[in-house]
Structure 1
Amino acid sequence: MSAGNSTNVGFNVVGRRAELKELDPVWFRIREEAEGQVQAEPLLASLIHATVLSHGSLESALSYTLAHKLANEDMRSMALRAVFDEAFGDDPRIAHAVRADVVAVFDRDPACAAYLDPILYFKGFQALQSYRAAHWLWKRGRRALARYLQSRISETFGVDIHPAARIGRGIMIDHATGVVIGETAVVGDDCSLLHGVTLGGTGKEAGDRHPKIERGVLIGAGASVLGNIRVGHCSRVASGSVVLADVPPNSTVAGVPARVVGRSGCAEPARAMDQSIPVDEPDYSI
């Protein structure tokens, strides 16, 4: 999934398909799927050409798509696209994260039929990649513009991620409506969050006040994880739960307030997306 030198590889140059497939297999597959969809549904041809097939890299295609979705009268798409292009071009970690996120959505969401789908249609994916540009701005001291972008992401996608939050790669935010991630929150690699998830604080305290979600955690719809607490790696938070204390690794928690109700049920719950609650193990308070 390495980005390689994908920005400089033109897909339509004769003899370069094999090279692109080796250097950037995710982008190669997206382009092949886009060509297939143009043939299958001519009414989408204009959209797909504008968003995918006219671009030489995944970064360029994503920059175009996000800028057009987030633009308004105050900030035109060309200005926003320049911001995305600068962020994606400056930090190669974003390119790797984008590709890992595409694969994560395809692997974990049964409603995702193609790598192309998150790019064009999935607002959780689009909000997350927009956040990545806002985070890049925040780290470089351009905080006013980062906050503006956060506001537009929230208005457009219904997802509110503070640009200072730290989010890893291989992330799926499914459906995404109502997701809130606070300023000092940390989300590790390979996590899955469903709609209505809140990673928030418990009051007006300042400083480090938001949850730390370790690698491979699955958080169900409508769950709230509040305060400067830690959810251990490869754990599960059941839908509708309110988590107010640390969660041990490889555990399942459920309830209000949440309690440990069993083990996580598998080695990588965020990948398996199994949200069933064990019924044959005793409860443990946390």
Structure 2
Amino acid sequence: MDSDQHSSEPAGSAKPVRICNSGSIDVDGLWQSIQARAEEIHDEEMGLQSLVHDVILSKSCLGQALGARLARKLAREDATREELQPLLGGILADDPTLVASSARDLSAIVERDPACDSALQPLLFFKGFMAIATYRISHHLWTRGRRELALYFQSLTSEVFAVDIHPAAKIGCGILLDHATSFVVGETAIIEDDVSILHEVTLGGTGKMTGDRHPIVRSGVLLGAGAKILGRVEIGEGAKVGAGSVVLNDVPPHKTVAGVPAEIVGESADDAPALAMDQRLLCRKNRGG
């Protein structure tokens, strides 16, 4: 992602933000695996031949494919595919980190979602991935002063994917947005690398405060379906928030919280719940035990 995210430090926290700095990915290798699977689908499923050829087989790289897929999904009367595809493709070509970030998201989905058996599936079918990919483009535009266009893409993401992410929010790589419907992220929210988020999660503010007023979610966190995290609270590294919880206070690292309002119910059973994707409230009382 852009340089402002690498060096940023959230107000009220002495710990720097880890965004898109926890490793690299072989984008070309991932693209080759996507192409190989696309060729198989093209031969096996006549009903998808046109889509697969247009988005994957006729393209030379992941950036071109991503631009084509998003243009097909986001096209409207006020922004046709013929207008969107060169715009999106140009942005992705100008900033390769956007493609690398999306590649890490694709890999995270394959690794964590048992319903996904190839990186081609989220690229073509999963609206959570497409929503995050569109956010990345809107954030790129926002940080370069093209704020009206960034807000336009935010609006499209809300309309098409039922996901509302402010383009000023800072989101890392390796994000699994599972199911995605009704995911909301406020302007000053920060989500670090390797976080998994279920549907109907809100990272919101409280009232009319200005400045840093939305949550910080550290790496390895799992946010259960329907969790509401409100205000400038920090969800510590490796923590888990139970489904339907309302979080109004900081959550220490590696703790599990649940309830309305949320309370600590134990230690996270996994060092990185986001990777384990176990949404049950299984806890351990001591880190060593």
Q: Normalising by structure 1, what TM-score?
A: 0.89
Task: Return the offset for 1:46.
Answer: 1.3
Instruction: Name the counterpart of 2:271.
Output: 267
Deviation by residue 1:187-237 (Cα, 9 ceiling, x = unmatched): 000000000000000111111100000111100000001001110011100
Does the CA contact (< 8 Å) of 1:261 and 1:278 recur in 2?
Answer: no
1:123 aligns with 2:127: yes
1:24 match: secondary structure? helix
The structure 2 residue matched to 1:89, chosen from 85, 89, 93, is: 93
Offset at 1:102?
Answer: 0.4
Is 2:82 the counterpart of 1:78? Answer: yes
Q: Name the structure 1 match of 2:244.
A: 240
Question: What code does the residue aligned with 1:150 have?
Answer: Q
Name 2:115's counterpart in structure 1.
111
Aligned residue type for 1:198: T
Equivalents in 2 of 1:280, 1:175: separation in Å? 28
Provide the rounded CA distance (Å) in 1 between the counterparts of 2:242 and 2:157: 26
Q: Aligned AA for 2:202?
A: T
Partner of 1:229: 233
CA RMSD of superposed structures (Å): 1.4
Percent of aligned pairs with the same amino acid: 51
CA distance in 2 between partners of 1:169 and 1:280 (Å): 28
**How many residue pairs get matched?**
261
Question: Aligned to 2:68, which of 64, 68, 93?
Answer: 64
SS of residue paired to 1:93: helix
Are the equivalent residues in 1 in contact too, given 2:268–2:283 (CA < 8 A)? no
Relative to the length of structure 2, the TM-score reads 0.88
The aligned counterpart of 1:195 is 199
Q: CA–CA distance in 2 between the matches of 1:68 and 1:280?
A: 46
Deviation (angstroms), 1:62: 0.7
Is 1:37 aligned to residue 41 of structure 2? Answer: yes
User: For 1:276 and 1:153, how far apart are their aligned partners in 2?
Assistant: 30
Q: Give secondary structure in 1 for the equivalent of 2:200.
A: coil
Select which of 178, 181, 186 maps to 1:182. Answer: 186
**CA apart distance, 1:23:** 6.7
Q: How far is the alpha carbon of 1:24 from its aligned partner? A: 1.0
Structure 2 SS opposite 1:221: coil
- Gap runs ≥5 in structure 2: 1-25
Residue aligning to 1:161: 165
Q: Closer, same or farther in 2 for the Cα pair 1:117/1:23, shift >3 Å?
A: closer
Amino acid at match of 1:189: D
Q: Is the 8 A contact 2:245 2:262 kept in 1?
A: yes
Residues 27, 62 of structure 2: 8 Å contact kept: no
Query: Structure 1 residues 220 and 23, CA, compared in 2 at 3 Å: closer, same or farther?
Result: closer
AA aligned to 1:83 is L
CA distance in 1, matches of 2:181, 2:27: 34
SS at match of 1:82: helix
Q: Which amino acid aligns with 1:178?
A: S
Structure 1 residues 122 and 23, CA gap change in structure 2 (3 angstroms): closer
Report if the CA contact (8 A) 2:246-2:262 is conserved: yes
Q: Which has the higher contact order (CA 8 A, sep 6+)?
A: 2
**Which range is displaced more, 160-169 or 259-268?**
259-268
- Cα 1:65–1:279 change in 2 (3 A) is closer
1:230-252 per-position Cα deviation (integer Å, ceiling 9, x unaligned): 10011100000000000100111
Match of 1:19 in 2: none
1:53 equivalent in structure 2: 57
Paired AA for residue 51 in structure 2 = L
1:100 to 99, 104, 121: 104
Alpha-carbon distance between aligned partners in 2 of 1:210 and 1:176, rounded to the nearest angstrom: 19
